[in-house]
Chain A
Amino acid sequence: MNYVVRIDNKKLKKWRELEDEARDIRRRYADWEFIEKQPPKIRAALIYYIEKGDIRGAALFAGIDLEDFRELLRKANIPTIT
């Protein structure tokens, strides 16, 4: 299957804005004290998630299962936003 991809710059701009909003919310809600107390790899994974919103990549980075990482996000008060 060959995809026909024409990038609609208006749509892309809208998605970038939504991403920026989501990142701001994650930064604002996050319990930074909790995050700072974590071991380096977990701390880095949480920060990566805050910046990128990429849960599977962050879980892989932290070396834990996706569901365990989702639970960790709750403990760190980092919301998922969609």
Chain B
Amino acid sequence: MYRSTDFAIADTCFLIDWVRFRRRDLIFKLFKTVFIPESVLREIKSESTVMWVALNLASGNLALYTEVFDEVEEARKITELSRRLPGAISVDLPEALCMAVGRRRGYVVLTENRGAIMFADLVSDYNDVIVWRSLEVLLALHMRRLIDADCNNLSMLFREYEEDTKHIFPERDLSNGVEVLRRELCSKN
């Protein structure tokens, strides 16, 4: 029996960076299936991304998510609300759809869209949606001991990710994460 959090749904911004990571297949150690909405599939174009997605759809690590009318309607409302909230960052429709699915099905939402992360923080109906950036994915791989942590260099995997993707983790979030790993994985007491 699987829990809903054994499944994830990924948006385009997450996917197009994650595919460039040298250890990209590690994600399938965390999730039984990562769903890709049809709208996201339509946005990917580069050979490396399309090939990785195709191979993993074929092997069953990834699965296509066909959105239903109610989910698209909810996504539209998220997008509209995000644009009306003073000072909030806009959530675009593909990310909003992942949020709607995350709320309804309990899947982990994988996104690098700051608007989506902010929306889940600000809007009470979405406070329970689990939204992960690549940072949280890498942390979870360590915490669940799905990779060997080097206690002398706990930031190694994160730096590899930054190098491969040219994505930067906020220094404060990264140092907090590394501190948690040090306490949980490397402390002798």
Contact = CB atoms under 8 A, between A and B. Distances in A.
Contacts, number: 94
B49 A81 contact: no
A6 B92 CA distance: 21
Q: How large is the interface on A (under 10, 10 to 19, 20 to 34, 35 or more residues)?
A: 35 or more
Interface residues of B, number: 38
Given A65-B43, A65-B45, A82 B133 contact: yes
Interface in A6-63: 6-8, 11-12, 15-16, 18-19, 21-22, 25, 29, 53-57
A53 to B, nearest CB: 6
Prevailing SS type, chain A contact patch: helix
Contacts of B92: 56
A8 B122 contact: yes
B168 A66 contact: no
Interface of B: 12-13, 16-17, 43-46, 49, 74, 77, 81, 85-90, 92, 112-114, 117-118, 121-125, 133-135, 165-170
